[in-house]
Chain A
């Protein structure tokens, strides 16, 4: 278990501005004109999942819904499609946050993979009901890549919270 074999760090309190900044950066990534690239990771979903798991009291379903609305308007997708999927994703991540953090990073990534796939399936179902065509199995590659990015995302997004400076070997924590 990771809880016993990894040194546990006590993190600094999170900065709300940093959370907002990471979300905006993820939105920028998602709104970039990726010409014909299929199977791109949904960075917004990844960052939302991360903050829902790590800061369930700061990040919530309402924020996820709003970010989803921005994605819909920016992408020209069906209005409400991302909002719906992200709200469900935020709910699932908040419900699972106590469980997920007990696992090692790669096992956490397995949990995240399931969440991402569920989000994509929801969007697929919504669009199929609305009459769109099936985009092909390569569509789901994005979830795999996003889950594979989870350890990197954890490292990067927790960076400002790590305690800097004096390390004392005699101190217990």
Chain B
């Protein structure tokens, strides 16, 4: 005979069972997301559901911005009133605003020059905010799929590479900075053309030139530029400057620390570079294998 508790006592499965179930589900999701990238579609669906909530969360910030704008106009009106009374104060005040505007103008001009110098199509974007995830170094920019941004595109500022677009939402995109611990950028030493891959240093805000032989020809103050062999970053963009080299005979690799050239934590205006479309495809694996095969084996295949 089957004993069932009265319905008002039934509470479903025990908490430990539920915990086990949900922890297994979470671990499964994490493995899928971190190792296989299968969870992207699920993330897009949940992100779509969360989007109104995100917009709502942005609203008070925008409201504060608008209110601040309103009060600054009040302040400027007040200042105008004061200007009539005291012209010296006006002069000093104006000088200050001119200084900031001049700096901003110079930065935008350099950015425009950078856009002309680069043959690729580029999109001017603005950094909205830093990602809230404290474990990674990412920023959110205000251009998304609707403006033609694609995952994998390079992001630069007026002096060098900032990072790479890693995730694209309809109106926003997520840029992983080159200083993120998971981010790698193929570089070249400008002085002698030595190729290497530079790794982000994580929280320190620096970069590491890992897996470079300890007798490699790298000196302090060497400038590292993108090598362009990845087909993603255009060649010759400044990435970093070597700041310190430790060569220890006990290790086969030198420990080379670099400082990023671009203001990875400073500027607000950035350029998103489109990828080159006319790259020749990777030679097919099967053809090269077939070419190396001895003739006897081929003959057998034909039989």
Q: Is the CB of A74 within 8 A of B43?
A: no
Taking a contact as CB atoms closer than 8 A, the residue among A36, A38, A80, A132 that contacts B29 in the complex is A80
Q: Is the CB of B182 within 8 A of A131?
A: yes
A115 to B15, CA, bound (A): 17
Interface residues, chain B, CB within 8 Å of chain A? Answer: 11, 15-16, 18-19, 22-23, 25-30, 32-34, 39, 42-43, 46-47, 49-50, 53-54, 56-58, 60-61, 128-136, 138, 140, 167, 174, 180-182, 201-203
Q: Please, could you name 9 A-B residue pairs with CB atoms under 8 Å apart, sorted by A?
A: A32-B60, A61-B15, A62-B22, A73-B50, A79-B39, A83-B25, A83-B29, A95-B15, A131-B182
Taking a contact as CB atoms closer than 8 A, the residue among B19, B53, B128, B167 that contacts A87 in the complex is B19
Q: Is the CB of A31 within 8 A of B22?
A: no
Q: Collect the chain A residues with CB atoms within 8 Å of residue B42's CB.
A: 79
Max chain A Cβ within 10 angstroms of own Cβ: one of B28, B34, B167, B181? B34
Q: Is the CB of A65 within 8 A of B30?
A: no
Smallest distance from the beta carbon of B147 to chain A beta carbons, Å? Answer: 19
Given A73-B47, A87-B19, A87-B23: A133 touches B203 (CB 8 Å cut-off): yes
Q: Is the CB of B134 within 8 A of A139?
A: yes
Chain B at the A interface: SS class: helix
Closest to B202 in A: A133
Q: Collect the chain B residues with CB atoms within 8 Å of residue A91's CB.
A: 15-16, 18-19
- In the complex, whether A130 has a CB less than 8 A from a CB of chain B is yes
B-facing residues in A51-79 (Cβ within 8 Å) = 57, 60-62, 65, 68-70, 72-79
Q: Collect the chain A residues with CB atoms within 8 Å of residue B130's CB.
A: 33, 35-36
Smallest distance from the beta carbon of A166 to chain B beta carbons, Å? Answer: 32
A68 to B46, CA, bound (A): 11
- In the complex, whether A136 has a CB less than 8 A from a CB of chain B is yes
Q: Collect the chain B residues with CB atoms within 8 Å of residue A95's CB.
A: 15
A38 to B137, CA, bound (A): 13
A70 to B57, CA, bound (A): 14
- In the complex, whether A27 has a CB less than 8 A from a CB of chain B is yes
Taking a contact as CB atoms closer than 8 A, the residue among A62, A74, A83, A133 that contacts B53 in the complex is A74
Q: Is the CB of A32 within 8 A of B57?
A: yes
Q: Collect the chain B residues with CB atoms within 8 Å of residue A127's CB.
A: 135
Q: Collect the chain A residues with CB atoms within 8 Å of residue B132's CB.
A: 30-31, 33-34, 75-76
